[in-house]
């Protein structure tokens, strides 16, 4: 009803690189500044936490879809904790709930989310990917997959999905 779009930022937890964390923070901040909700897997780790910290630094609102049933794994930067109690099966809820799925870096959980986002026919944007990731995901021939080198391009891509 409030017409704000939900952008999902997916990425590794403990396996995140410094560049992943920095990108996730800046991305969360940028999206919040542009009045998007930032959705992540909600845990106090890696890309999830960095993205939400960035969003909060710009006064945004964050949604964390947690694997736990009691919030024990919740980042302090989650405003709205959705407690699923479903472990990694919650990855599909992240994907279905996001209007656009952005992958920052890669881990097994991230890989499952990008793959599920293709299944769910969601717009996808990949950042900080290895050549192997890019080759792998491009091979599916999925039309709504974008690969970006910089945050400057992100808003243009996300907004193009918004207007569609």
Instruction: Round to whole Å and give the CA distance between 53 and 61.
Output: 10
Instruction: Round to whole Å and give the CA distance between 9 and 25.
Output: 10
Pick the piece of the chain touching a copy of itself (CB under 8 A) from 17-25, 28-36, 103-111, 150-158.
103-111
Binding flag, residue 6, a copy of itself (CB under 8 A): yes
Contact between residue 12 and residue 110 where contact means Cβ atoms under 8 Å apart: yes
Contact between residue 122 and residue 101 where contact means Cβ atoms under 8 Å apart: yes
| E strands present in 52-159 | 62-66, 80-83, 100-104, 124-127, 145-147
Pick the piece of the chain touching a copy of itself (CB under 8 A) from 28-36, 40-48, 115-123, 146-154.
115-123
For the chain, give the number of residues.
164
Nearer of residues 48 and 65 to a copy of itself, judged by Cβ: 65
Binding flag, residue 69, a copy of itself (CB under 8 A): yes
Structure token pair of residue 149: 């080198």
Binding flag, residue 118, a copy of itself (CB under 8 A): yes
* 48, 50, 63, 125: residue in contact with a copy of itself (rule CB under 8 A): 63
Least distance in angstroms from the C-beta of 16 to a copy of itself: 14
* Cα–chain center distance at 30: 13
Report the interface residues with a copy of itself, using CB under 8 A. Answer: 1-2, 4, 6, 37, 56, 61-63, 65, 69-70, 76-93, 96-97, 107-109, 111-113, 115-116, 118-120, 130, 132-133, 135-136, 139-140, 142
């Amino acid at each position: 009803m409030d017409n704000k779009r939900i952008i999902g930022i997916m990425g590794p937890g403990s396996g995140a690189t410094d560049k992943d964390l920095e990108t996730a923070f800046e991305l969360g901040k940028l999206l919040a500044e542009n009045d998007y909700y930032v959705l992540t897997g909600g845990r106090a780790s890696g890309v999830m936490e960095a993205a939400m910290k960035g969003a909060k630094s710009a006064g945004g609102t964050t949604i964390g879809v947690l694997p736990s049933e009691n919030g024990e794994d919740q980042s302090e930067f989650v405003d709205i904790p959705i407690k699923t109690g479903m472990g990694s099966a919650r990855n599909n809820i992240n994907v279905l709930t996001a209007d656009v799925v952005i992958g920052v870096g890669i881990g097994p959980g991230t890989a499952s989310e990008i793959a599920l986002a293709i299944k769910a026919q969601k717009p996808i944007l990949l950042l900080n990917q290895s050549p192997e990731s890019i080759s792998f995901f491009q091979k599916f021939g999925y039309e709504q997959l974008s690969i970006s080198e910089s945050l400057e391009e992100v808003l243009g891509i996300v907004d193009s999905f918004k207007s569609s």
